[in-house]
């Protein structure tokens, strides 16, 4: 039986990549039944397939999620923080599973998603590629081995000039993985960039550095700098398709699950969680 999908943020870069993958039947049992974006999206009213650069698929881009959500088994949301925070409670009322790739949410917006997860199953991840989720595992395991051995942690991320939040959600997730391995609280140890006379680097610190420019899809490096050696673990995305494939796999996986907040590490069976 096909799994019906609605994409929110359909006119965006990730939305179009998702539609391209669905048109090519990357996940053969997923079927696009709705495409939603903001009222000012130039593609509003166009066929979603044509807007994404593939064939006409007879699914117009609309602004009304309520009109298409009843036909969905799962809603994939790559919109924006405010939109996602508003969509999650509505999907909870409609009892529609969600896959969320939006980053940059405020604590209040995060709370709205977490509350919705008491009613519906939600996969929420800052990065849905297999490679990044393997990287998260490697970073946490490496940090666990190096804990209390004097290695400083620095995280460098690079993205395209249009990205609105910094550091990236993926960088923060990597920082959380490193902090977990070290037994630290990330909120207490994170340092975002440096300027001026900062003094010596504290021992209990995880540094974040965000680079923005051009059309970089996403590069992330976690550095463990010790005395006499440095370990670097990196991931470089060469196409948004890696993220889209992960999101579609998550959409296939989440349907029928119990209410709750799930990670891509669970979807990809990379850890012993749940």
Q: Is the pLDDT of residue 22 over 90?
A: yes
The predicted pLDDT at position 94 comes to 97
Over the stretch 42-95, which tens digit does the pLDDT of each residue have?
A: 999 999 999 999 989 999 999 999 999 999 999 999 999 999 999 999 999 999
Averaged pLDDT, 144-154: 97
Over the stretch 249-270, which tens digit does the pLDDT of each residue have?
A: 999 999 999 999 999 989 988 7
Q: Indicate the pLDDT class of residue 126, thresholds 50, 70 and 90.
A: confident
> Catalytic one among 16, 160, 163, 274?
163
Q: Which domains does the chain have, with CATH numbers?
A: 3-128+240-267 (3.40.50.720), 130-236 (3.30.360.10)
Averaged pLDDT, 16-31: 95
Q: Does 16 participate in catalysis according to the annotation?
A: no
Q: Is the pLDDT of residue 274 over 70?
A: no
Over the stretch 175-200, which tens digit does the pLDDT of each residue have?
A: 999 999 999 999 999 999 999 999 99
The predicted pLDDT at position 1 comes to 83
The predicted pLDDT at position 55 comes to 87
Q: Indicate the pLDDT class of residue 273, thresholds 50, 70 and 90.
A: very low
Rounded CA gap, 139 and 60, in Å? 42
Q: Indicate the pLDDT class of residue 271, thresholds 50, 70 and 90.
A: low
Of the candidates 270, 267, 271, the one whose C-alpha atom is nearest the C-alpha of residue 125 is 267
Phi, psi angle pair for 32, to nearest 5°:
-75, 125
Per the prediction, the chain carries an average pLDDT of 95
Over the stretch 193-246, which tens digit does the pLDDT of each residue have?
A: 999 999 999 999 999 999 999 999 999 999 999 999 999 999 999 999 999 999
Residue 23's CB: how many other CB atoms inside 10 A?
Answer: 17
Rounded CA gap, 145 and 206, in Å? 17
Of the candidates 174, 176, 182, the one whose C-alpha atom is nearest the C-alpha of residue 223 is 174
Q: Does 274 participate in catalysis according to the annotation?
A: no
Q: Helices marked H in 75-197 — which ranges?
A: 81-94, 107-116, 130-146, 169-182, 186-189
The predicted pLDDT at position 190 comes to 98
The predicted pLDDT at position 270 comes to 79
Place of tokens 């494939």: 245
> Catalytic one among 16, 159, 209, 220?
159
């Amino acid at each position: 039986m096909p799994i019906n999908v609605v994409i929110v943020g359909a006119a965006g870069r990730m939305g179009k990549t998702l539609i391209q993958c669905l048109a090519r039947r990357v996940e053969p049992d997923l079927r696009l039944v709705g495409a939603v974006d903001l009222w000012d999206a130039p593609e509003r009213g166009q066929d979603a397939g044509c807007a994404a650069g593939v064939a006409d698929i007879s699914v117009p881009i609309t602004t009304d999620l309520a009109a298409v959500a009843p036909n969905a088994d799962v809603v994939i949301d790559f919109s924006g923080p405010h939109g996602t925070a508003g969509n999650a409670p509505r999907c909870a009322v409609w009892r529609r599973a969600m896959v969320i790739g939006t980053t940059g949410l405020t604590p209040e917006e995060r709370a709205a998603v977490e509350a919705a997860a008491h009613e519906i199953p939600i996969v929420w991840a800052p990065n849905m590629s297999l490679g990044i989720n393997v990287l998260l595992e490697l970073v946490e395991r490496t940090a666990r081995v190096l804990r209390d051995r004097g290695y400083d942690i620095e995280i460098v991320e690079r993205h395209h000039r249009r990205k609105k939040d910094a550091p990236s959600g993926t960088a923060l997730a990597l920082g959380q993985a490193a902090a977990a391995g070290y037994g630290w609280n990330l909120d207490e140890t994170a340092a975002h960039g440096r300027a001026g006379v900062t003094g010596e680097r504290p021992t209990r610190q995880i540094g974040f550095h965000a680079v923005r420019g051009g059309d970089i899809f996403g590069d992330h490096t976690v550095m463990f700098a010790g005395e006499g050696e440095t370990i670097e673990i990196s991931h470089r995305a060469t196409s948004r398709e890696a993220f889209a494939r992960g999101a579609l796999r998550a959409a296939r996986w989440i349907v029928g699950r119990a209410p709750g907040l799930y990670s891509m590490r669970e979807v990809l069976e990379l850890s012993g969680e749940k």
